[in-house]
Homo-oligomer: A and B are copies of this chain.
Amino acid sequence: MRVTIKDVSRVAGVSIKTVSRVMNKEKYVRDETRRRVEAAVAQLNFSPSLAARTLAGSRSFQIALIYDNHSPYYIHAIQEGVWARCRAEGVRMLAQPVDIASENLAQEIGGLIDETHVDGVILSSPVTDAPEALAELERRGIRFVRISPGTNHAITSSVFMDDAQAADDMTMHLINEGHRRIGFILGHPNHMASDQRHYGYRRALDRAGIDYEPDLVRPGLFDFASGMAAAEELLKRRAKPTAIFASNDDMAAGVLSYAHRMGLDVPQDLSVAGFDDTDLAQLVWPPLTTIRQPTRDLAYAATGLLFGQDEGAIHQRLPHELMVRASTTRVRP
């Protein structure tokens, strides 16, 4: 029924081991032998059993992507990036959602590794900063790369963007458009990026000589509802902000929604800016001025680092981009 390496070896007229050599692109195989084997593989449509390879060898041809992120757009982009790189490498991707707050996070990750023998792990924010997860991975000596970690880590590679600089850029853009009272909605406290973005906002204000008003900064949870709630608080003030900068697009969409409900015209009465440039940014009205975070590219690059031969930890920064769209404008004189 199943086509095994044995069948291939018989058709090609070589030993099992030689077929194995060809499949693994090892050297010491004569060109002609290689061609014969390849022909037999094609003819029989042979796909080696991952289970057997895993058991016998030292690789499993699988990696795991571990995430706990509730933004479908974000994880979709991440999955796509990792997947694309895996595909190129002939490796399978195991997508593994986890609950970062769970008691047995470490145990779950440990179990995953024991069961599947994955060759490596990609950690997506905010799992990147769950100490139990990091400790467990290190304890097992497994190779892993982090996407957009919030903390530094000498041992393992990571890819990221400069959240602080991006928030700084956006804030500066708003200031250049004449805004002085700029509301800011914080991200989820679990995500280290939240701090960075907050910091960038503050730094830009400082540089422009604008006082930082704690009252203009409201908490948020990276979701639509919290964006709406924050907008409500901000717009209830006597001195309304002329612009609101939300730490991600979902919250910015919440701001838009609330503004519309209040009969405010965006951007004439209020400029709204987001962060991430998820698809959502262009699915709302007006389309959001936001920061394009190269999510898919980050995932792709991270996976590349995982497969890389290099021993040391590499920390790779990818560029962001300010996307100016219709949700922000010059403040009215």
Q: Enumerate chain A interface residues (CB-CB to B < 8 A).
A: 2-3, 45-52, 54-55, 60, 72-73, 75-77, 79-80, 83, 92-95, 97, 107, 110-111, 114-117, 224, 250, 253-254, 256-257, 260-261, 279-280, 282-287
Distance between Cα atoms of A97 and B46 in the complex (Å):
21
A50 pairs with B116, CB closer than 8 A: yes
- 5 inter-chain pairs at a CB distance below 8 angstroms, sorted by A residue, are A47-B114, A76-B76, A92-B116, A257-B284, A280-B280
Chain B nearest CB from A258 CB (Å) reads 9
Which residues of the partner chain B approach A280 to less than 8 Å between Cβ atoms?
280, 283
Distance between Cα atoms of A257 and B327 in the complex (Å):
13
Asked if A117 meets B257 with Cβ closer than 8 Å, knowing A76-B75, A92-B94, A283-B283, the reply is no
The chain B residue sitting closest to A51, CB to CB, is B54
A-B pairs with the 7 shortest C-beta distances? A72-B76, A47-B114, A51-B54, A260-B285, A51-B51, A51-B55, A47-B111
The chain B residue sitting closest to A48, CB to CB, is B115
Distance between Cα atoms of A93 and B72 in the complex (Å):
18
A284 pairs with B282, CB closer than 8 A: no
Asked if A94 meets B94 with Cβ closer than 8 Å, knowing A253-B283, A256-B285, A283-B283, the reply is yes
The chain B residue sitting closest to A257, CB to CB, is B285
Which residues of the partner chain B approach A284 to less than 8 Å between Cβ atoms?
253, 257, 283-285
The chain B residue sitting closest to A107, CB to CB, is B45
Distance between Cα atoms of A95 and B254 in the complex (Å):
31
Distance between Cα atoms of A261 and B286 in the complex (Å):
8
A47 pairs with B115, CB closer than 8 A: yes
A79 pairs with B51, CB closer than 8 A: no
Beyond known contacts A92-B115, A257-B284, A260-B286: 7 more, CB 8 A cutoff: A47-B110, A51-B51, A51-B54, A72-B72, A83-B97, A257-B287, A285-B285
Chain B nearest CB from A139 CB (Å) reads 12
Distance between Cα atoms of A114 and B45 in the complex (Å):
10
Chain B nearest CB from A190 CB (Å) reads 20
Asked if A95 meets B93 with Cβ closer than 8 Å, knowing A49-B55, A257-B283, A283-B250, the reply is yes
Q: Which of these, B50, B76, B256, B261, contacts A51 with CB under 8 Å?
A: B50
Distance between Cα atoms of A75 and B286 in the complex (Å):
26
Which residues of the partner chain B approach A117 to less than 8 Å between Cβ atoms?
49-51
A115 pairs with B49, CB closer than 8 A: yes
Distance between Cα atoms of A47 and B108 in the complex (Å):
10
Distance between Cα atoms of A76 and B286 in the complex (Å):
26
Which residues of the partner chain B approach A114 to less than 8 Å between Cβ atoms?
2-3, 46-47, 49
